[in-house]
Amino acid sequence: MSTVLPPAAAAPDLAQSAQQVLHEIFGYGSFRGEQRQIIEHVCAGGDALVLMPTGGGKSLCYQVPAIARHRAGLGVAVVVSPLIALMHDQVGALDELGVAAAFLNSTLDADEARRVERELLAGTLTLLYAAPERILTPRFLAMLESLHERGRLSLFAIDEAHCVSQWGHDFREEYLGLSALHERFPAVPRLALTATADDHTRADIIERLQLQAARLFVASFDRPNIRYTIVEKDEPKKQLLRFLRDEHDGDAGIVYCQSRKRVEETAAWLAGEGITALPYHAGLDADVRRRHQDRFLREDGVVMVATIAFGMGIDKPDVRFVAHLDLPKNIESYYQETGRAGRDGLPADAWMAYGLADVVNQRRMIDDGDAGEDFKRLQRAKLDALLALAEAHDCRRVRLLAYFGQASTPCGNCDSCIHPPATWDATDAARKALSCIYRFRQQGEQGLGPRSFGVVHLIDVLRGKATDKVAQFGHERLSTFGIGADVSDAQWRLVLRQLIALGHVRTEGEFNTLALAESAREVLRGAVPVTLRLPTETRTKLKPARVRGGAGKAPPLPLDEPGLLCFAELKRWRAEVAREHNLPAYVVFHDAALAEMARERPATLDDLAAIGGVGAKKLEAYGREILRVLAGAAAG
């Protein structure tokens, strides 16, 4: 399958060398998941397509081979990335690790670009990041040609490879041109990486990037550290605030809303409640957006309230929660958006508030869209799968993974697993609701008023409430009037939501009036059992409040009193370094590394080197200072 091209003898040495790079440069003890196989394959010159979830560790898959191959004299790795805003931080992170890296994009002025080009041609760079449109210029291709002739072009890494597919929502025209790399430099190994996994996108990537001979690596799509929770939407902003205060005080996170207006309102409201919340949507000035994104990346504990315009390529590892105030379009979007939480592997939350209006709105948006009928059918099927997830009373993760073709067992880390919901047999209630909708229509056909009504009126009739509207249309005379008085309003809404979610009831027109779908017959006959979650209390507190570390958010490990003090001091020190280097704090050290230092409190450089994330360069650059900070904290 694979094309092994460079000197065969290089392969075993490089596998060894890759292991060394992991220890020395990155300070990590072992590869994660399939990283080893991928890295060894690429080190040996093979092509690969890597499908790995966000936070799975894709960057290492090309950074380690790039460093190992550069050490072996094979030259520079070129990394294609669509996100110029993030190249700066990636290069900054490599710089902190002592790896010679640079980027070429439109943010550089002519002089700076020339300097990078000179370094590139001189062979001193280990990695060069560039946007696809830059790579495909004749000027850049000529430079690659020159490097290649001298055997100094070691690897192409194509990040966010799904951008080549029109199927996905991140399609980028320029990516189509990247097949030119293979045509011009067939002997240079290529590694395409993406977190978007569906079959169609995968096939597109293989075909358009000509990766037919590449080895395919598909990692598990499970993100075990993310806890999935879907709550009944009641007063969404208040529910969100409670969730933030109870579970994520001082944490960084993203709140997704469907519209710009809702983004603005929610951000303003949270800010009024004392939360550092910033809005982000495509309608804001580019400058404002950049500033907000920058603050989110660089400051601790900023909550970004955003439309889906925000998020692609956000590499911030310590996003502790992703909250949805509106329903995403489909499971792919939900998975991708929630996947931005917890890339550092520490516990994180995916929280969503979901209600009847979400179902109605999403269905409506598809119906009213100007897509063709085929596409709409597909969108509806995808929405149905998401609604089934939202309505589920069994393990959310099992359903999520099943959607991506992965079998699993109940996870113990989702709302359904932690608090198995009580259910009730709503078959009878569902039949009552359907027959009431049917009666409305019969009456309408007899010329006695409209043929269909909305949810609120339907529930009033079922519960036997004497409203003006009931009197106006004589609905107290219907045989279904009052037949559901024993079921609460809230429960009726759930019944209808489920009926709409499952497609037995459609909503129509400007006022979302209800109509029976073909499949309603079966439910009416009693042939389809309907089981529902009992409405849960909106406030589901899932875990005890965390131990507080004095300054800001809690550490990722349980720490004793002196440990908490060390952690706070280390964070203060890190903030200074980050400011001096103009980089986000996590690029200097992750929270997890600081917490481990605070727990172990190493007294020597050797002991410090054993902490995860402390590589040779960081040890040399910061080791003494860290020991000094730790000693200072211990002395009080």
Interface positions with Zn ion (CB under 5 A): 395, 397, 411, 414, 417
The alpha carbons of the chain give a radius of gyration, in whole angstroms, of 28
**What backbone phi and psi angles, to 5 degrees, belong to 547?**
-70, 130
Cβ 328 to Zn ion shortest distance, Å:
19
Q: Which residues pair with 49 in a beta bridge?
A: 192, 216
Q: How far apart are CA 263 and CA 261, in angstroms?
A: 5
Contact call for residue 75 and ligand ADP (CB under 6 A): no
The arrangement of strands across the sheet holding 303-306 comes to: 226-232, 348-354, 321-324, 253-256, 303-306, 277-280
**Shortest spacing between CB 212 and ligand ADP, in angstroms:** 24
Residue 414 binds which entry of ligand ADP, Zn ion, none, CB below 5-8 Å type-dependent: Zn ion
578 touches, from ligand ADP, Zn ion, none (C-beta below 5 to 8 Å by class):
none
Distance in Å, CB of 331 to ligand ADP, minimum: 19
Name which of Zn ion, ligand ADP, none residue 32 binds, using a CB cut-off of 5 to 8 Å depending on partner kind. ligand ADP
- In 3D space, the residue among 381, 282, 296 whose CA is nearest the CA of residue 331 turns out to be 381
Distance CA 446, CA 450 (A): 10
Transcribe 528-557 into DSSP letters.
S--EEEPPPPS----SPPPPP-SSSSPPSS
Interface with ligand ADP (CB under 6 A), residue from 6, 17, 25, 31: 31
- For position 55 contacting ligand ADP by CB under 6 A, the verdict is yes
Beta strands 513-516; 505-508: pairing state: antiparallel
Of 32 and 376, CB closest to ligand ADP: 32
Q: Are 608 and 597 in contact (CB under 8 A)?
A: yes
584-603 residues in contact with ligand ADP (CB under 6 A) are none
Please tell me whether residue 194 binds ligand ADP under the rule CB under 6 A. no
- Per partner kind, with CB cut-offs from 5 to 8 A, the member of ligand ADP, Zn ion, none near residue 36 is none
Q: Which does 397 bind (CB under 5 to 8 A by kind): ligand ADP, Zn ion, none?
A: Zn ion
| Single residue of 18, 44, 48, 52 touching ligand ADP by CB under 6 A | 52
Partner touching 344 among ligand ADP, Zn ion, none, CB below 5 to 8 Å by kind: ligand ADP
Residues 2, 59, 179, 540: which binds ligand ADP (CB under 6 A)? 59
Sign of CA dihedral 40, 220, 334, 372: positive
Classify residue 369 by burial, with Cβ atoms within 10 Å: 0-12, 13-18, 19+.
exposed
Cross-strand bridge partners of residue 354: 232
**Applying CB under 6 A, does 36 fall inside the site for ligand ADP?**
no
Shortest Å, Cβ 196 to ligand ADP: 12
Site for ligand ADP in 342-401 (CB under 6 A): 343-344
Q: Is 563 in the site for ligand ADP (CB under 6 A)?
A: no
Going by C-alpha positions, the residue among 536, 453, 427, 523 that lies closest to residue 490 is: 536
Name the one range near ligand ADP by CB under 6 A: 57-65, 471-479, 517-525, 542-550: 57-65
What does the DSSP assignment read for 170-218? ---GGGGGGHHHHHH-TTS-EEEEES---HHHHHHHHHHTT-TTSEEEE
Smallest distance from the beta carbon of 336 to Zn ion, in angstroms? 20
Secondary structure of residue 423 in the 3-state scheme: strand
Please report whether residue 54 would count as binding ligand ADP according to CB under 6 A.
Answer: yes
Q: Minimum distance between the CB of residue 156 and ligand ADP, rounded to whole angstroms?
A: 17
> Are 160 and 82 spatial neighbours (Cβ–Cβ below 8 Å)?
yes
Q: How far is the CB of 36 from ligand ADP (least distance, A)?
A: 9
User: Is residue 38 close enough to count as binding ligand ADP by CB under 6 A?
Assistant: no
Residue closer to ligand ADP by CB (options 38, 211) is: 38
Find which of ligand ADP, Zn ion, none residue 411 binds, CB within 5 to 8 Å per kind. Answer: Zn ion
Tokens standing for 487?
């079921």
Residues 284-343 that bind ligand ADP (CB under 6 A): 315, 317, 343
C-alpha 529/C-alpha 533 separation (Å) is 13
Contact positions toward ligand ADP, by CB under 6 A? 28, 31-32, 35, 52, 54-60, 315, 317, 343-344
